[in-house]
Amino acid sequence: MLKILVINQHTANFGDDAAGVAMAIQLHQQFPDAELHFVYNWPWGKDQFLPIPYKQDKTFHHNEIIIQKTDLLDAIRYVSTKFLPILIKNRPQTTISAYVNLVKESDFVIVSTGGSNIGIYQDWICLFRVLVAVLEKKRPIFHLNSLGKSGNLVFDIITKFVLKRSQVFVREKKSHEMLNKWGIYNVRGVDTALSLSATVKDLSKDEQKAINLDIDEESIVFIPTRIGSWHPLYNKMNLEQTINQEIIPSLITFSQKHNLKIYILPHLYSVLSENKLLQNIQDTFLKLGLKEDQVKIIENISNFRDYEKCISHGRLVISMRYHGVILSIKQGIPFISLAYENKMKEACNYSEMLDFNFDLTDDNLNKKQMLKSYELAYQNREAISKHLKNKLPILSDLSRLPLTYLYLKSLEVNKK
């Protein structure tokens, strides 16, 4: 029986949940008898642990293996023993040792699809988990990630070390080109969430029953966000000002012209919830002239399927989040991408929707530009929807590239 370990899985984010579940479904469709183990990128502690919404008898979500900053000394001790094993003969039983043992027991280690943690986010714990897999003689499979330079010399040296010893699949041209410059072989695909069932009607009866949202189809779905101090672009853009002075006024003008309601859709939940931000945005809409029945925060979102259904009911999606764009593509819904990172532009590029992408770091971004783009998307929504639905089959295939590789490698394991 195969034992597959997935590391660096994110959650408390409907987009990351969608991609993680899509990957899990792919794996169990290809290897129905395999054990699937998830280790999470979850810094908030075991008492707040939150797995992705994927339940299956042979799937295990390891809340006992949550590596935090307090594990730093043990991590250094572990790495030291790999180069100077004489230093410490017996390792204590710790979170690090539990993780190492799980890596050793696994036939394959997959680095879950995700943002630029190994790159501009400079996430040392994410990088450490991959380093352990490499030091334990595994060949990690990067499952369509965003990768890049971090700006930290030591971090980038370790990154090159692990990537050269991994099978790398990326979801961006920028990542692909950067790795080529580093001399690291990689394969370019698209986001994993594009392999999910195409429409809500394809879900099981239980899943369909769980989705019961009161959404007016004559609506704009707005997916806002903030950028925390952890993000390298935090000091390079005044996102709050852009939202209040350009995005919200443009949406008010457009919604009133076409008699459309505005639904504000949460993207994060649990410990990452942006409730205060969403409430402030709704208040700004009201202060600038909308009535209470014209703008609403969607509050009863329980999982990524609810999130996706909200997107599917919009006449137009205005998304400041990457997976808001991805799931609009998948559902064939016209969208405007308000991008704070390259990955959103990349998704617009491979879906041939680049004319509908705006760079939030652009000082020249203004209400007039956005209104023109909203109008173009809205007036051509049937053609855009047809275009996106025609694109989906090839994009879905590209989102499954790591499974082709994994299948061939599994044949080698079965022969042993």
Predicted TM-score (pTM) of this structure: 0.93
The token duo for 134 is: 């490499």
Contact 413, 107 (CB under 8 A): yes
Dihedral angle computed from the Cα positions of residues 222, 228, 231 and 232, in that order, rounded to the nearest 10 degrees: 110
Pull the structure tokens for residue 404: 């082709």
Q: H helices of 85-226, where?
A: 95-105, 124-135, 153-163, 173-181, 205-210
The first and second tokens of residue 225, run together, are: 């966000």
Strands 335-339 and 186-188: unpaired
Residue 6 burial (10 A CB sphere; 0-12, 13-18, 19+): buried
- Distance between CA 149 and CA 172 in Å, rounded? 14
Residue type, 295: V
- Exposure on the CB side of residue 331, measured as CA atoms within 13 A: 23
d(CA 351, CA 356): 11
SS3 state at 211:
coil
Q: Which of 13, 378, 399 is nearest to 223 (CA)?
A: 13
Going along the chain from its start, the domains and CATH numbers come out as: 3-188 (3.40.50), 200-394 (3.40.50.2000)
- Torsion sign across C-alpha atoms 308, 378, 332, 148: negative
What's the pLDDT at 62?
96
Local structure of residue 224 (DSSP, 8 states): -
In angstroms, the CA 89 to CA 98 distance is 17
Question: Is residue 23 a contact partner of residue 192, using CB atoms and an 8 Å limit?
Answer: yes
Query: Cβ distance 127 to 159 under 8 Å?
Result: yes
Q: What is the pLDDT along the chain (416 residues), one digit of tens a residue?
A: 899 999 999 999 999 999 999 999 999 999 999 999 999 999 888 888 999 999 999 999 999 999 998 999 999 989 988 877 665 555 678 999 999 999 999 999 999 998 889 999 999 999 999 999 999 999 999 999 999 999 999 999 999 999 999 999 999 999 999 999 999 999 999 999 999 975 554 555 555 554 556 676 789 999 999 887 667 776 677 888 889 999 999 999 999 999 999 999 999 999 999 999 999 999 999 999 999 999 999 988 989 999 999 999 999 999 999 999 999 999 999 999 999 889 999 999 999 999 999 998 887 888 999 999 999 999 999 999 999 999 999 999 999 999 999 999 898 876 65
Contact 188, 176 (CB under 8 A): yes
Q: Are 253 and 371 in contact (CB under 8 A)?
A: yes
d(CA 193, CA 21): 8
| Residues ≥6 apart with Cβ < 8 Å to 84 | none
Distance CA 234, CA 369 (A): 23
- The candidate with the shortest Cα–Cα distance to 268, out of 327, 224, 310, 315, is 224
In angstroms, the Cα distances linking 199 to 52, 202, 203, 282 are 20, 6, 8, 29
Place of tokens 């047809």: 386
The answer to whether 146 touches 172, Cβ cutoff 8 Å, is: yes
Q: What is the CA radius of gyration of the chain?
A: 22
Q: What is the phi-psi region of residue 212: left when phi exceeds 0, alpha when psi lies from -120 to 50, beta otherwise?
A: beta
Query: How many residues would you count in the chain?
Result: 416
Structure tokens at 311: 């997107």
| 303 contact partners, CB below 8 Å, separation of at least 6 | 14, 17, 53, 210
> If you ran DSSP here, which 8-state letter would residue 244 be given?
I
Q: How far is CA 400 from CA 15, 25, 169, 269, 351, in A?
A: 17, 11, 10, 27, 16
CA distance 267 to 14: 6
